[in-house]
Amino acid sequence: MTQNFPALALILLFPAIGVLFNLFYGRRAGRGAVNFAGPAVIVLAFAVAVSAFIALLGMPAGAALTCPLWSWIAAGPFHVELGLRFDALSAVMTLVVTGVGALIHIYSAGYMAEDADYARYFTYLNLFALSMLVLVLADNLLQMFIGWEGVGLCSYLLIAFWFDNPQYAYNGRKAFIVNRVGDLGFLLGILTIVGALASHNVWTLDFAAMQSHAPLLAPVATLAALLLFFGATGKSAQIPLYVWLPDAMVGPTPVSALIHAATMVTAGVYMIARLNFLFLMAPAAMDLVATVGVVTAFFAATVAIVQSDIKRVLAYSTISQIGYMMLGVGVGAFSAGVFHLMTHAFFKGLLFLCSGSVIHALHGEQDMNKMGGLKRKLPITYATMLIATLAISAIPPFAGFFSKDQILDAAFGSGHTWLWLLGVITAALTSFYMFRLIFLTFHGESRVEPDREHHLHESPPVMTMPLIALAFLSVVGGWVGLPKGIAWGDAFGRFLAPIVNHPIAGMITPPTLAVESGAIATLLGVVSLAAALLGMVAAVTLYLRNPGLVDRIAESLAASRQLLWRKYYVDEIYDLLISRPLFWTSSVLLNRGVDRGVIDAMVDGTGLTVEEGGEAVSKAETGNVRQYAFVYLLGALGIVAYYVYRVMR
């Protein structure tokens, strides 16, 4: 069942107005107007999203609100109509993007208060939110690709926002190029689907129509799913295309919060959940999704335990948490993956904004080795960041406990025991590196440089109020996913079920997870909680009770620590195997060999031949009249001699 809801267009219109206002009038209007308009348009979009959500709740399960826009492509039988679709899945994503995004925009007004380019900043930030909303509200795959490319462009613009720093500009280009590699896979996946449907005279990329014709995609389901997942590894920073995200930390901290919490990196998870009918026909592809997800989660968590940059720790944490989401959708628990996406938006947005509050207080310092003792100076930041740490560490009753446990239970219940085990180990590592961050930043003796410590103070209300709001969501945000049999049970899962687990004739039905209740479910919950507590205890022991032990362990495991510190040398391997060969091919083979040696040689050779021929002919032109007359006389005599010769014959 669908119902026309024209107000959906306002969810896109408001951010678009913000982009135009800030771009063309922001500087002239002044900082106050920009600081109001930038966040206000996202707040208005959130208000419309809430009204649409209320309307959706009053409709039957599986229903959707729609808003047709206009015809985009009409090429023979192939038609693409632009339109908006607001069902249970896109409702969750829209509320996350606009709700968390609005808080980040409000926070930005304080964080960027002293930046001269505030109008350009809010232009990009509004455009980022707009692009993600286009992605999640799209009712067809090609329209989703527009938003997909839009968030890629905005990530480049915002990561390289302070482009006068060459390293920042390079990191922005790195993010852009790595994502273009993944986007090629996404585009090839779209073309694979178009070809498969066209072979049966079906010309559509509309999600509902594709789902109704899902059996036609069975022959190419695995190939299409693998290509689309390759695109997801770029956007959602999974192995092998995760390398851009840690370097994205050079952008303003609210940008990091928006990328990691509410927009770009969640796009891949959303895409897989939206195309669940395709992935369910490709069990091999789903196994790969789950495996890559949990391996990425473990890999990134090990790297995070030795990082000293507060934002870089959180960056690897995001890579790890997205890996959990991929594990969820990969084992068929699509609602669990999306549930963790939502709770992660709350506590990861909070973590980044808290780190921004710390950096703001320390006037740009990001090295945790130069922090410590900030608990008393930044009480609100400390309290809210501790809540976010408890949430990401999956400590009950905080939000992350419910969503992460659903994913681990699903992995175990679907028979992926070793994936479950690696997920549990990663949970222990997550708790360890996050409490390590808390203790190094806020506890112990102050290691802050004297000139910075003198000016330490809590952030202004415009920055702390979003922290408090996100802290509240980090506590209660997981309660919509309580275990079955408790209060309202798994309300979140029931809300999404008609969209992500709807069986279709000829399609493999979603797996029935064995772990739903009883002693096994309780045992699994106890094991995952024990792992989180173990990581916490290890961090307390090493960084609070016996700090000297850390140095001794680091010395005894110097080689391992160096391996983690250098991030397994992945960047160096990429440089050796990909970057250098590409640069050599470009500069030596293509530039010198083909461009200069062949193309330029042909063009320059032709020009040189004409030039030299002209110079040779030009020597006959001396400007001497008597010489010209003599040549004319010789010519005339030659002509006369020729005719006399003809007559004599």
Over residues 268-313, the pLDDT tens digits come to 999 999 999 999 999 999 999 999 999 999 999 999 999 999 999 9
Q: Output the CA angle 69-74-80, nearest 5 degrees.
A: 45
59, amino acid identity = M
Asked whether residue 379 falls in the same domain as residue 440, the answer is yes
Cα–Cα distance measured from residue 439 to residue 310, given in angstroms and rounded to the nearest whole number: 12
Residues 359 and 365 sit within 8 Å (Cβ to Cβ)? yes
Cα–Cα distance measured from residue 562 to residue 106, given in angstroms and rounded to the nearest whole number: 40
Confidence of residue 620 (pLDDT cuts 50, 70, 90): low
Sheet-wide strand order for 64-75: 2-4, 64-75, 78-86
Which of 59-63, 327-331, 641-645 bottoms out in mean pLDDT, i.e. has the lowest? 641-645
Asked whether residue 419 falls in the same domain as residue 546, the answer is yes
Within a domain: 55 = yes
Q: Output the CA angle 476-271-185, nearest 5 degrees.
A: 145
Does residue 429 surpass a pLDDT of 90? yes
Average pLDDT over the chain, rounded to an integer: 89
Within a domain: 236 = no
Asked whether residue 556 falls in the same domain as residue 581, the answer is no
Asked whether residue 297 falls in the same domain as residue 273, the answer is no
1, amino acid identity = M
Asked whether residue 556 falls in the same domain as residue 450, the answer is yes
Asked whether residue 388 falls in the same domain as residue 501, the answer is yes
Within a domain: 234 = no
Cα–Cα distance measured from residue 132 to residue 122, given in angstroms and rounded to the nearest whole number: 15
Within a domain: 233 = no
Taking Cα atoms as reference points, which of 331, 324, 339 lies closest to residue 293?
Answer: 324
**pLDDT tens digit string along 233-254?**
999 999 999 999 999 889 899 9
Taking Cα atoms as reference points, which of 38, 274, 59 lies closest to residue 147?
Answer: 274
Phi-psi category of residue 513: left, alpha or beta, with phi > 0 → left and psi -120 to 50 → alpha: beta
Asked whether residue 368 falls in the same domain as residue 481, the answer is yes
Does residue 42 surpass a pLDDT of 70? yes
Does residue 387 surpass a pLDDT of 50? yes
Residues 271 and 233 sit within 8 Å (Cβ to Cβ)? no
Within a domain: 357 = yes
- pLDDT mean over 11-30: 94
Within a domain: 230 = no
Q: Where are the alpha helices (DSSP H) in 501-600?
A: 519-540, 548-556, 558-565, 570-574, 580-584
- pLDDT mean over 378-399: 95
Asked whether residue 437 falls in the same domain as residue 358, the answer is yes
Cis peptide before 240 (omega within 30 of 0): yes
Taking Cα atoms as reference points, which of 192, 25, 22, 48 lies closest to residue 109?
Answer: 22
Give the domain extent around 637: 625-649
Does residue 396 surpass a pLDDT of 60? yes
Could you tell me which residue, 94 or 493, shows the higher pLDDT? 94
DSSP 248-276: GGGS-HHHHHIIIIISGGGHHHHHHHHTH
Within a domain: 608 = yes
Could you tell me which residue, 486 or 28, shows the higher pLDDT? 28
Give the global pTM. Answer: 0.89
Asked whether residue 402 falls in the same domain as residue 525, the answer is yes
**The pair of three-digit structure tokens given for residue 72, joined into one six-digit string:** 């985009």
CA end-to-end distance (rounded Å), the chain:
105
Please give the pLDDT value at position 13.
Answer: 96
Percent of the chain's residues with pLDDT above 70: 96
Please give the pLDDT value at position 190.
Answer: 95
Within a domain: 248 = no
Does residue 503 surpass a pLDDT of 60? no
Confidence of residue 619 (pLDDT cuts 50, 70, 90): low
Residues 15 and 130 sit within 8 Å (Cβ to Cβ)? yes
Q: How many CA atoms lie within 13 A of 374 on its CB side?
A: 37
Asked whether residue 399 falls in the same domain as residue 523, the answer is yes
Asked whether residue 15 falls in the same domain as residue 93, the answer is yes
Please give the pLDDT value at position 583.
Answer: 82
Counting the structural domains of the chain, the total is 4
Taking Cα atoms as reference points, which of 338, 274, 277, 213 lies closest to residue 502?
Answer: 277
Which of 48-57, 319-328, 578-587 bottoms out in mean pLDDT, i.e. has the lowest? 578-587
Asked whether residue 161 falls in the same domain as residue 206, the answer is yes
Please give the pLDDT value at position 502.
Answer: 55
